[in-house]
Amino acid sequence: MQKIPLSLAKSGMKLAKPVTKANGMPIIAAGVELSDALIARLEGLGIDKISVVGEAVSASQNPSERSARLDRLFRRLEDDEYMRTVKAHLREYFTIKAAADAAVSAGAEAKG
Amino acid sequence: MPACLFSRQQRAMLLSPDPELAALFRSLWDPTEVEWTVMAEGRRAMEAIFNEPPDLLVVDNRLADIPSAEVAAIVKSENVYRQLPVILCLDAVDLERDWDWSEIEADDFLARPFSAREARERVQLTLCRASRGMDANPLTKLPGNTSIIGRIQDLIDRQDDFALAYCDLDYFKSFNDKYGFSRGDEVLMMTARVIVNTIRGFQGVKSFVGHVGGDDFVFIVPADVAEEACRRVVAAFDDIVPHFYDEDDREKGCIVSTDRQGEVRTFPLMALSIAVVFNTGGRLKHYGEASAIAMGLKKKAKENPKSSYVLDRRSE
Amino acid sequence: MEEDLKTSAKGQILSIRDLPTLPKVLDEVTRLVQDPNTSIEAIAKVISRDQVLSAKVLKMVNSPVYGFPGRIGSVQHALVLLGFNVIRGVIISTSVFDIMSSTMEGLWEHSVGCALATGLVARQAGLKDPEEYSVCGLLHDLGKVVAAVQLPELHRAVGEAVRERDLRWFEAEKAVLGFGHDRINAWLAQHWRLPPTLKEAMSAHHFPERAQLYPQHAAAVHLGDFIVRVFEYGNGGDDQAAPLAPQALKALKLTLADLDAVLDGFAENLSEVSGVNFAPEVPEKST
C-alpha cells in the first residue's frame, strides 16, 4: 500500500483506503478502481493524496540497490583518493538507510 | 467608419486639378464623416496646410505646379507636420519607374484607374494607422494619452460600469539615478508586460492598458475585478522587480546613495502605487473628474513605501 | 582542424530553430494551455520539468524584443512576462522528436532530477531563491539535446565512444569533438542572452573551481549532477559517477556529511518529479 500525491494517480490503480472528506466522511470506498473521470472528480474535490494498492519501489530510491551499485558507478575513479573517500561515505549512508528501512518494514509487518 | 475615426469629423484636403478625382472622394463619405477641401494648385495650398493642417492630405501627381513628391517632402520635413498622413495619387505611367520611398516619405499611394471601394478603405486605413502610430508610447508601444482619454470618455458616455486604475512607480527616479535610464527603460518594459498580461488573464473581460509616459500607466477593467486585478499586478511586480537590481542592492532591499550635500540617503526597492476610480451607475461625466479623484487617492497609496493600491470607496 | 570543427559546430548549434521535446510532456502542457482557466503557476510547474520548454520560454523572454535581456532566470517570471497568448504560441509550435529513443527520455529524467538535486543543495547551503538554482540544474545538459538535434552524426560518434571505451559522456565529447556540452551551453546562453548566473552555471558545472562570477551556482549544479548520478535517476549519457570537485563543497560551505540531508531529500522527493515512481511511506500507526 502506498500513499501517493493525486497528481500521480492513474486509471487502473485501486484505492487501498477510502477517500474521505476533511471531516472523515467517506466519499469513495476502498477497493474502487480509479478511472480518469474519478481522478478528475477527486481533483475537483481538492483531494491531494490517496492510498493505493501496490508496491513499486523504484530502483533509484532503494538504498540497498544504491549501495550495491556504488562499485560500478565509481569504477574509473578508484585511483583518486578523494573519490574513494566520497564513495566510502556514500556506502555508509546507504547501508544505514537500508537498515533503517528494513527495521521499519519489519515493524509494520509485525503490526499488520 | 472604423471606431478609431468615430469620435469626430475628419478634415481631408485633396490637391488635384482633376474634378473627377474630387468628385470620387467626396462621394465616398458623408460630409459629416469626412469634410473635403479641394485645391487645384499645390503651391497655394501650402500656406493653408501650414495654418490649419488637415487630418489627411491627398496629393495628385498630376498637379501642374509642383510634383506630389515635393509636397510630401515639404510637409514631412517639419516636425510639427510630420504626423500628417500623406497619400499620393499616381497614374500607371508614374509607376513605371522606381520611387525612392525612403526619400519621399508618403504614407501610402493610390493608382489610377481608381476603384471607389479600394480608395475608401485605403484612406480609412491610413487615417487609423496614423492615429495608432502617433499615439503609441515610443518605448512600450502601448496607447498613449490621446487614446486613453478617448477610451475613458467613451466608456463614460456609454455609462459602462468600469474601474480606472492609475499606476506609477515609487522610487523610480532613484533607480534611474543609480542605474541609468537604459535600465530604467527595462523596468518600464517589464512593468508594461506585467500589467498587460495580468489584465488579459481575466477571461472574457474587456480591458484596456495605456502608457501615459514615463512611469505612469493606466488600466481599465470591469468594476468587479478591479481589486483582484490590483492584487495580482502588485504581486507579480514585487516578485520580479528585485531582479533588475544588482545583487548587493537586492540583498539589502534598498539603494544607498550619497547626494550632493554629502547626505547618505536610502531608497527602498521600487514599488507600484495604484489609485482606482470607479464609474458605477454613471456617476462620472467627464474623464477629468476621474483623474482628479485618482490624484487624491494616489497620495494615499504613496504614503505606503511598499506596493499598494487604494480603491475609491465613495458611494454614489 | 579542431578549430574548424568547433567553428562549424558552433554555427550549426546556434542555427537551431526547432527544438523538440518529449511527446508526453508536450501533451500535458498542451492540455493545460487549452484551458483558459489554468493558472500561470500550474503551467510553470509543468514547464519547469522540461528542459526544452524551459529553455524556449527563457530564451524568448530574454530577447531584446521584450526590452530586458539577461534579466529573467525564472520560468515562473518568464511566463508572467510572456503571457498566455505567447506561451500558447510557443507550445503549439513545439514539435516532438521524430525518433524517440530511450536515451532521450533518460536525459529528460536526468535533467529534472538534477534540477531537484541542485535546488536541494542550494537550500541546504542556505542560499536565497533555491528555485533560481533549480533552473540551472534543469538546463545543465541542454547542450547535449541541441547537439543531438543539430549534430546527429557527431552525437552518434560520442555515444559509440562511450560504449566502446567506457568513457563518461563528457570525456567522449572531448575525444570526438574536442569540446564538451559545457562549451555548447556557453554558446547557447550567450546567444540567447540568458542571465549571467544561468550562463555560468551551465558552462562551468564540470569545473566549478573555474567559475569566476557565480561560483555558488556552478558548484550547486556540479553537486546536483553528482547526486542524480549516484541515484542513477535518468540517463546523462553514461553509467558512471561524476568526479566530485572538493572546491564545490567548499564554495557552498558544505561537508560530505551535509550532503546526507540532500540525499534524504532527493530520495523523498523523487516521486514528485518522476510521474511514474511511487515513494514508500512510513506505514501508519493505525489502520
For the question of whether the overall pTM of this predicted structure is more than 0.95, the answer is no
Look at A27-31, B115-119, C276-280 and tell me which has the smallest mean pLDDT: C276-280
Q: What percent of chain A has pLDDT over 70?
A: 85
| Same domain membership, residue B182 and residue B104 | no
Co-location of C60 and C170 in the same domain: no
Question: Stretch B95-103: mean pLDDT, rounded?
Answer: 91
Same domain, B113 and B240: no
Average pLDDT, chain B: 91
State whether C73 and C167 are in the same domain.
no
Q: What is the pLDDT of residue B122?
A: 94
User: Domain tally for chain C?
Assistant: 2
Structural domain range at position C65: 21-92
Q: Is the pLDDT of residue A109 over 60?
A: no
Look at residue B316 and tell me if it is in a domain. Answer: no
Is pLDDT above 80 for B62?
yes
| Domains contained in chain B, number | 2
For residue A48, CA distances in Å to A3, A39, B28, C158 come to 10, 11, 65, 44
Residues of B with CB under 8 A from a CB of C: 139-140, 185-190, 193-194, 196-198, 200-201, 203, 236, 239-240, 243-244, 251
Dump pLDDT digits (tens) for B247-277. 999 999 999 987 778 888 999 999 999 999 9
Would you call C267 and A61 a contact, using CB atoms and an 8 Å cutoff?
Answer: yes
Helix count and strand count (H, E) for chain B: 10, 12
Same domain, B113 and B186: no
Mean pLDDT of C119-132: 95
If you average pLDDT over residues C3-14, what whole number do you get? 90
Helices (H) and strands (E) in chain C, counts: 15, 0
* Last residue in a domain, options B100, B130, B160: B130
Tell me whether residue C67 is in a domain: yes
Quote the pLDDT of residue C25: 86
Q: Does residue C283 fall inside a structural domain?
A: no
pLDDT of residue B1: 65
Q: Is residue B138 part of a domain?
A: no
Same domain flag for B218 and B286: yes
Among candidates C180, C170, C164, C161, which has minimal Cα distance to C240? C170
| Domain residue ranges of chain A, discontinuous segments joined by + | 2-52, 59-111
Q: What is the average pLDDT across C164-186?
A: 96
CATH number at residue C173: 1.10.3210.10
Q: Are residues B96 and B171 in the same domain?
A: no
Buried-exposed string A65-95: b where 16+ CB fall within 10 A, e elsewhere: bbbebbeebbebbeeeeebeebbeebbebbe
In tens, the pLDDT along C86-116 reads 898 889 888 888 776 677 889 999 999 999 9
What percentage of chain B has pLDDT greater than the value 90? 64
Q: Length of chain C in residues, anyone?
A: 287
**C141: amino acid identity, one letter:** D
C197 part of a folded domain: yes
- Has residue B111 got a pLDDT over 90? yes
The verdict on B170 and B256 lying in the same domain is: yes
- CB contact under 8 Å between C278 and A4, yes or no, is yes
Nearest-angstrom CA–CA distance, B223 and B312: 11
CA pair distance C276, C274, nearest whole angstrom: 5
- What 3-state DSSP class applies to C137? helix
Q: What is the pLDDT of residues C238-260, one digit of tens each?
A: 999 999 999 999 999 999 999 99
If you write DSSP's letter for every residue of C144-156 in order, what string do you get? HHHHHHH-HHHHH
Q: What is the pLDDT of residue C283?
A: 37
Domain boundary among C37, C71, C92: C92
Residues B163 and B303 in one domain: yes
Selection from C43, C39, C75, C42 nearest residue C60 by Cα: C75
A76 contacts C168? CB cut-off 8 A: yes
Looking at residue C97, what is its pLDDT?
83
Backbone angles phi and psi of C59, in degrees to 5: -65, -45
Domain boundaries A2-52, CATH class: alpha beta
CB contact under 8 A, A112 and C283: yes
Q: In this structure, what CATH number is given to the domain that contains residue B21?
A: 3.40.50.2300
**Span of A86-90, B76-80, B95-99 with lowest mean pLDDT:** B76-80
Sign of the Cα torsion B232, B236, B238, B239 reads positive
Categorize the per-residue pLDDT at B82 as very low, low, confident or very high, splitting at 50, 70 and 90.
Answer: confident
> B123 and B152 share a domain?
no
Q: For the residues C132-159, what does the mean pLDDT come to?
A: 95
Tell me: do C75 and C148 sit in the same domain: no
Within a domain: B135: no
B255 bridge partner residues: B267
A55/C280 Cβ within 8 A? yes
Residue contact C71–B190, C-beta within 8 A: yes
Range of the domain at B183: 145-311
ipTM of this complex prediction, to 2 decimal places:
0.86
The verdict on C80 touching B (C-beta cutoff 8 Å) is yes
* pLDDT score at A56: 47
Q: Answer yes or no: is C97 within a domain.
A: no
C58 within some domain = yes
C-alpha A94/C-alpha A104 separation (Å) is: 15
Average pLDDT over residues C34-51: 91
Q: Does the pLDDT value for residue C163 go beyond 90?
A: yes
- Which of C72, C80, C128 is facing B197, going by the closest CB pair? C80
Average pLDDT value for residue range B221-232: 95
Are residues C217 and C161 part of one domain?
Answer: yes
Asked if C121 and C194 sit in the same domain, the reply is yes
- Final residue before a domain boundary, out of C39, C73, C92: C92
Using CA coordinates, name the residue in chain B closest to C35. B203
Same domain, C231 and C153: yes
Over residues B38-50, the pLDDT tens digits come to 999 888 888 888 8
Q: Do chains A and C touch (3 or more CB pairs under 8 A)?
A: yes
The C-alpha atoms of residue B36 and residue B11 are separated, in whole angstroms, by 6
* Mean pLDDT within C49-77: 95
A55: pLDDT strictly greater than 60: no
Q: Is residue B298 part of a domain?
A: yes
> Is there a single domain that holds both residue C155 and residue C69?
no
- Closest chain B residue to C66 measured between Cα atoms? B189
Q: Are C283 and A83 a contacting pair at CB < 8 A? A: no
Distance CA B191, CA B194 (A): 5
Mean pLDDT for the stretch of residues B70-79: 86
Contacts of C272 in chain A (CB under 8 A): 5
CATH of the domain at B169: 3.30.70.270
C18 sits in which H/E element = none
Strands B271-279 and B254-258, bridge-based pairing: unpaired
Question: How far apart are the C-alpha atoms of C202 and C224, rounded to whole Å?
Answer: 12
Q: Check if C83 contacts B (Cβ < 8 Å).
A: yes
- Domain boundary, last residue among C46, C62, C92: C92
Give C276's pLDDT tier (boundaries 50, 70, 90).
Answer: very low
